[in-house]
A = this chain, B = another copy of it.
Amino acid sequence: MKVSDIGEFGLIDVLSQVVATDRPQPQVTVGPGDDAAAWQVEASTLLATTDTMVEGIHFSPESEWWHVGWKSLASNLSDIAAMGGSPRYALASLSLPDDTDVDDMVRLCQGIKHLGDIFGVMVVGGNVTRAPLVVITLMVVGQALAEGVMTRSAAAPGDLLAVTGHLGSSAAGLRALTAGVEMPASTREHVVGAHLQPWPRIAEGQLLVRQGVRAAIDISDGLGSDLGHLCRASNAGAEVSLDRLPIHPAVREAFPEEAVGLAVGGGEDYELLFAAGPEVMDRVLAAAGGRQGEKDCPITVIGRITAESGVSLVDAEGGPVQGLGAGWDHFRKGG
């Protein structure tokens, strides 16, 4: 069944059913299907972000739509995680051709719903319109913790730099999917999972804020690029030890020559990069090490913030390293 068979309003009815939640949401006074959503809030600091995925750019027509839905929400939740907040509500804007399969859009919304349920995020509204190709824009509204938020501009010379999780796994997964690289099944599972189902670091972001971290950014564009953003916003520089980068053993094994390049410039890792003084960092490492859980992730100190501007990469002996890609820019020629 095509979208043109049931029309805009038929599609909205179908997709509203998919994202409808069974959980009581007494604070939501108007849900999907009206001119706007309405919900009650207490006095607080709100957070809001938006991200877009375009067919042929961020996913291919052969992508599994469930994964596209998961990832389109995950990228937004990662932004909320980088502020140290709690995501609450999502709005979804779908632009699509009239010969799109309704079932594909159902699976897309099932992927959104699945991840949303994990993190307590309700889809409260959205919009459907016609376009020559599929474009998915999600917006997420959340709340900051009472302790505060993390921003890109709060890093200071003397801070240590650290990251959550592993770097380069998502880019390795993209290669595994597109270039037919041979690798063990367990390696493939790790890297493809990292690429198709990134896990937003909501719990980690909140842990950081509670331990006193105030400077963070998510590294969806790649460590090199996003560290540059953090440094520029903070009027500072950084030095990163390449031998400390938390590259998953499976990635080092499958891509021995390229692993460091993937970790620095691959992008789409959706991990958090943050900066904090040594005392706060000690508290973070102690608190993070004490947690248990299936999705627990390592936290690794990879360098430090410097007073001199610019990002320098150094090897195990502290010598400068050149020639690694700086990260992802959606428009730069050859970027």
Contacts and interface: CB of A to CB of B under 8 A. Distances in A.
Nearest to A99: B331
Given A129-B57, A129-B330, A43 B41 contact: yes
Nearest to A94: B52
A137 interface: yes
Interface in A85-110: 85, 89, 91-93, 95, 98
Give the interface centre of A30, A43, A79 by most chain B CB atoms within 10 Å.
A30
Interface residues on A, range: 35 or more
Nearest to A53: B129
A8 B329 contact: yes
A125 B49 contact: yes
B137 A52 contact: yes
A313 interface: no
A17 B166 CA distance: 35
Contacts of A45: 29, 38-41
Contact of A36 (B30, B34, B85, B128): B85
B38 A233 contact: no
A151 interface: yes
Nearest to A218: B35
Contact of A52 (B95, B124, B149): B95
Given A91-B139, A137-B93, A44 B52 contact: no
A29 B124 CA distance: 25
Closest 8 CB pairs of A and B: A35-B82, A36-B49, A137-B137, A35-B79, A7-B332, A139-B139, A8-B330, A54-B131
27 contacts: A7-B332, A8-B331, A11-B331, A34-B153, A35-B49, A35-B216, A35-B218, A36-B82, A38-B46, A40-B46, A41-B44, A41-B45, A41-B46, A46-B141, A50-B93, A50-B126, A50-B127, A52-B95, A54-B129, A54-B131, A57-B131, A58-B129, A93-B137, A127-B137, A129-B330, A133-B133, A135-B135
